[in-house]
Structure 1
Amino acid sequence: MSGQPLLSVRDLTVNYGHVNAVRGIDLDLAAGEITTLVGANGAGKSTTLMALSGLVKKAGGSVQFDGRDITSLAPHKIVASGLVQVAEGRATLTTLSVRENLELGAYTRSDGAAARARDIEHVYSLFPRLAERAAQMAGSLSGGEQQMLAIGRALMAKPRLLLLDEPSMGLAPIIVQDIFRTLRRINAEGLTIFLVEQNVKQALKLAQRAYVIENGQVVLQGSGAELLGDPRVQAAYLGH
């Protein structure tokens, strides 16, 4: 990686009681790239993301974002700094409309209604179904539409780094293709993405850089293409 990473994680450790969920991992994310973290269920992927977002307590280690130490920042301050997470399970506000969900995504911003309205239109251009359903309650959307809304709401916070936790979970393959195509597009527009994903093949095809985590430790790293072709990854995750 040339130059200073946008996100630099050193010796990150997270414990749940006596369980070491994440055990001293190092990660570097380059600005403008898609990086993925893949591994089996229970390997520590989601815990890693939640620790970066400040949603679970770190037992040790440091997190630097754009040269600033955010290790101990509160979650809302981490969002305000430009690091925004789309949670596993989508977590849309089901009794609010699509548009209200999107407006809430901008709660940390102070750049005025016109800028926010422009960004809502941009989200609608990324996900035309959300425009069609702008006045509908979020709870009435399909799973795929809720995932689109969760991503759109996160984009409304104007992130510089978007964390995504299992965006394909429970969705039909055609919807997954749609969502991955949109992730490629928003990355091409300049947004850095850190993706945790159970669909290892899709994730490695999408990502420029990849890490494999097992039992809370990074065991392999390289480009997405390198790991896609690695016999160990193929045997463990791709059924080859």
Structure 2
Amino acid sequence: MVLQVPDEAVRKSTGGDPRPGVEPRLLVLMLAIAVVAGFFGGRLVLIRSDSSTTGGAEVISSSPLEPANSVDDGQYTPYTGVVKAVTPDSAEGKCSESQEGDAPAALIDQSDTSIWRCRGEGIGETAVFEFDEPVTLAALRVVNGNTAWTDRYTAERRITAIRWTFDDGSFFDQGLAPNDRDAQEVRFPETETTSIAMDVLGVTEPGDDSDLSDAVSISSLEFLAPA
């Protein structure tokens, strides 16, 4: 025997016409899943975005950065004319780990085989180049890294930034491309000085794990004056 329930009774028990739909408990569960998925989806986007901005190689400029103490009272206009090489009369400096005192002299001895090289991380290594008489400097050329020894360029550290300071205390920071074996030139306003100090600000990691590779080098350095 089949019991027949009148349509009117159905409408009264449900408060209106029966409609197809989702059970309330199931609807709440679906909404909760959507909220959680949205939260984690947003987190993944943020993490991916952060990774894209911090990953990869940093772009290094070989142009001078705006100096804190400008070499010409804030009017930083690099010299653009013809230049000629001038050689300092002396160079002094000690590597912090080895305490070798003759390393900077290798950069002014006019030899293609001798280099300035300090063992260790390299940041904070300094050298001072002096002229017997005041000279006007307008540019520098740096061969970054160890290009003199066979197969040592990529194995050792390379410099990414140097601060150059003149005898009056003014200075500028030079960015160096870490994978350029050629001379990298930087120009600045004509500046008269009797000395210029070099301070290593940034370096790369070594190319391998050997003790010999934990070092920084400059293979060649030229000081340039207006011709």
TM-score by length of 1: 0.20
TM-score by length of 2: 0.21
Larger CA Rg, structure 1 vs 2: 2
Relative to its length, the structure with more helix (as a share) is 1
Relative to its length, the structure with more strand (as a share) is 2
